[in-house]
Structure 1
Amino acid sequence: MKSKSIDEFYEEISSDSFANPCVLLPNGIQKEIGHFNVFNIKELYERLKGHCNMPYDRRAYYKISLIRGKNRVEYADRTIEIEEHALLFATPKIPYNYLPLDMEQSGHFCVFTSEFLTKEKIGMDLDKLPIFQTDGYPVFQLTKEETNEIDLIFKKIHQEINSDYVYKYDLIRNYVAELIHFGQKLQPVTALYSKHNSAARVSSLFVELLERQFPIESSRQRLELKSAKDFADRLSIHVNHLNKVLKENTGKTTTELISERLIQESKILLKETDWNISEIAYSLGFEELAHFSNFFKKQTTLSPLSFRV
């Protein structure tokens, strides 16, 4: 699945509400590094005339939501039922779908890019936080008191983003960090999660992590996850366990599945682009052209140049 950018996010909600995307942008955001915005769910829901369903998709931005109302959240291969109040953390690593089950929707959500909340700015690495890990629990049931506390933080964010304070985004970063720490202190409500076979879940996440790296759209783009160990580390499991699970569920090893996807993309790049073979090799994660040529020939019996002709 192709990642949804912050621009596409604005295009989506503005097309549903027939509004100019610029109207939705916060004041002064162009002066900042990265992007941040906050929304009132009830107001946005009314603006979208109830069309609030979000596609099951990976997003290139982070999202924190305080949800009031009956909802269903599909997160990776899990389904989570929300009966009343919940705090939801979404990461670009895993796709999710948020489906309102009644018309009584309210609360807040904020969206931000990794550039807005860098380690240098808040003193912590987002992708290393437990709450944003692929094997973590992203939804937390809230008590009435906890809901009021989170609501107050969001109201402060709304107040600041509409202010003329020169350093308002620095203050907002502190509020977002407070939301993250609040979530990490909560215990996950595991009873809310549908029962899923753990092996099926691992397989599903592996496929998502593999596919999210494609298509390769620029010769400067490069794969991050290239080996079985890379995927196992991202999933926080041992590489032998990943191999065992995939073999049982697909009949193929991790390396075989990765190789098949690399060959598929290699053929597309060789036939559909004018990049030289060195550029294709680099974008697919090969350090040396010879390594790519040997890999391609082993899988197809042809050299990359012969296949291209």
Structure 2
Amino acid sequence: MKSTDKTLVFNKLLDQYRYLGLPEEFIDDEADFTIHDLKDIHKDVPYQSPVYRTNFFSFVFVKDATGKYTTDEQIFETKPGTVYFTNPGHFKSFEWRTLNEVYLITLSESFLKENVHADIFDEFPFLLAETVPPRVLDAQLFSEFEQLYHQIAGIYFGDCIYKNRMIGNLFVVLLLKIKAYFWLDYNPIYEGNRSSQIVKSFKRTLEKHYRQLASGQAQVMFRVQDYADAQHLHPNYLNNVIRSKTGKAIGTWIAEKTIAEAKSMLQNSAVSIKEVAYRLGFSESANFSNYFKKHTDLSPVLYRKQQAGRTS
């Protein structure tokens, strides 16, 4: 657990539960999965949580309770029949005014990939949506989810050696129901102005980073994960937005920018190829030469000679 701008950031489920006063005795910290009925946890209602950020997914099934929750700057009311989920990276808080039965499932990306689906975000892309509003279900539809989360809870609190696999299989059914009933036609890329802001921010970060590389203020080339971290987004989600809005994946943007900067520096004969490689974050000039040739069909030496010939 750490604090950023007075906001708590939890990297482990155990840290989050301990800080919020949730029961710890049934948490499998290795599996990164928990399920609880919140009435067994929050004995005193109303309850207001602090603002925090986690690296986990949370699924909430509100059978009988009222309150609200926030995701970044958006506030949503919760009432009987509400189902919602939040994904990692966002600022969150929640409030319960009344609380009789609410099941909370919290799990990590690694648990999803290991026990639910190896290509979890290809199968269920809505998990990467920036913010998905809650849905309020009628009693009959909510009962389908109720049966599932009670089954999952029964397995979780049991002692079967295959419980993670069994929970994983049931969670596939749960996600398929969510996909079918709520987000069958939902496109996580279409989020109005927010997507445009994400693209603009990415381009600004890209440009700033290469200026820092060229000036020696940075020594390591950013990866997709670094650009995602800069906006507190999942890298798959960021890449989907960039590809959808620009027609190019982040990897393509990085490659094109790297080659453009390399060409600019190679046209300056005072800068050695070794120095060009170093400034662009390559640990070895040979790696840079291979990278440059892969994208241009020319070695840096030959490219420099060609440019020198054109200006002589």
Same fold, TM exceeding 0.5?
yes
Using CA pairs under 8 Å that are at least 6 residues apart, name the structure with larger relative contact order, 1 or 2: 1
Aligned pair partner of 1:203 in 197, 204, 229: 197
Aligned equivalent of 1:80: 76
Cα drift, residue 14 of structure 1:
2.7
> Which amino acid is the alignment partner of residue 43 of structure 1?
D
Aligned pair partner of 1:233 in 215, 218, 239: 239
Aligned equivalent of 2:101: 106
Aligned pair partner of 1:132 in 113, 127, 130: 127
- Rounded to whole Å, the distance in 2 between the matches of 1:51 and 1:61 is 22
Contact kept? 2:17, 2:24, Cα under 8 Å = no
**Residue 182 of structure 1 aligns to a residue in which SS?**
helix
Contact kept? 1:45, 1:105, Cα under 8 Å = no
Cα drift, residue 230 of structure 1:
9.0
| Structure-2 change in CA distance of 1:287 and 1:105 (3 Å) | farther
**Residue 152 of structure 2 aligns to a residue in which SS?**
helix
Contact kept? 2:9, 2:52, Cα under 8 Å = no
Mapping for residues 1-309 of structure 1, pairs under 5 Å: 4-7=9-12, 9-17=13-21, 22-26=24-28, 30=30, 34-46=31-43, 50-57=46-53, 59-68=54-63, 69-92=65-88, 94-100=89-95, 102-118=97-113, 121-128=115-122, 129-135=124-130, 137=132, 139-187=134-182, 198-199=192-193, 202-203=196-197, 223-225=223-225, 233-235=239-241, 237-239=244-246, 286-287=281-282
Which string of whole-angstrom CA distances, capped at 9 and with x for unpartnered residues, describes residues 155-212 of structure 1? 1111112222221111011112222111111236xxxxxxxx932575379769x99x
Cα drift, residue 134 of structure 1:
2.7
| Structure-2 change in CA distance of 1:287 and 1:185 (3 Å) | farther
User: Which structure is larger by alpha-carbon Rg, 1 or 2?
Assistant: 2
Contact kept? 2:129, 2:237, Cα under 8 Å = no
In structure 1, runs of 5+ residues without a counterpart are 189-196, 212-218, 241-253, 256-280, 292-309
| CA RMSD between the two structures | 4.7
Contact kept? 2:113, 2:120, Cα under 8 Å = yes
> Which amino acid is the alignment partner of residue 27 of structure 2?
L
> Which amino acid is the alignment partner of residue 224 of structure 1?
V
* TM-score of the two chains, using structure 1 as the length reference: 0.57
> Which amino acid is the alignment partner of residue 134 of structure 1?
A
| Structure-2 change in CA distance of 1:145 and 1:286 (3 Å) | farther
| Structure-2 change in CA distance of 1:288 and 1:226 (3 Å) | farther
| Structure-2 change in CA distance of 1:101 and 1:35 (3 Å) | closer
In structure 2, runs of 5+ residues without a counterpart are 184-190, 206-218, 229-234, 248-252, 255-276, 289-312
Which string of whole-angstrom CA distances, capped at 9 and with x for unpartnered residues, describes residues 59-84 of structure 1? 21122111242333333453333333
- Rounded to whole Å, the distance in 2 between the matches of 1:109 and 1:65 is 5
Equivalenced residues, count? 231
**Residue 173 of structure 2 aligns to a residue in which SS?**
helix
- Rounded to whole Å, the distance in 1 between the matches of 2:133 and 2:152 is 21
Relative to its length, the structure with more strand (as a share) is 2
| Structure-2 change in CA distance of 1:10 and 1:54 (3 Å) | farther
| Structure-2 change in CA distance of 1:24 and 1:123 (3 Å) | closer
- Rounded to whole Å, the distance in 2 between the matches of 1:205 and 1:225 is 15
| Identical residues among aligned pairs (%) | 11
- Rounded to whole Å, the distance in 2 between the matches of 1:67 and 1:148 is 11
- Rounded to whole Å, the distance in 1 between the matches of 2:223 and 2:17 is 30
> Which amino acid is the alignment partner of residue 145 of structure 2?
I
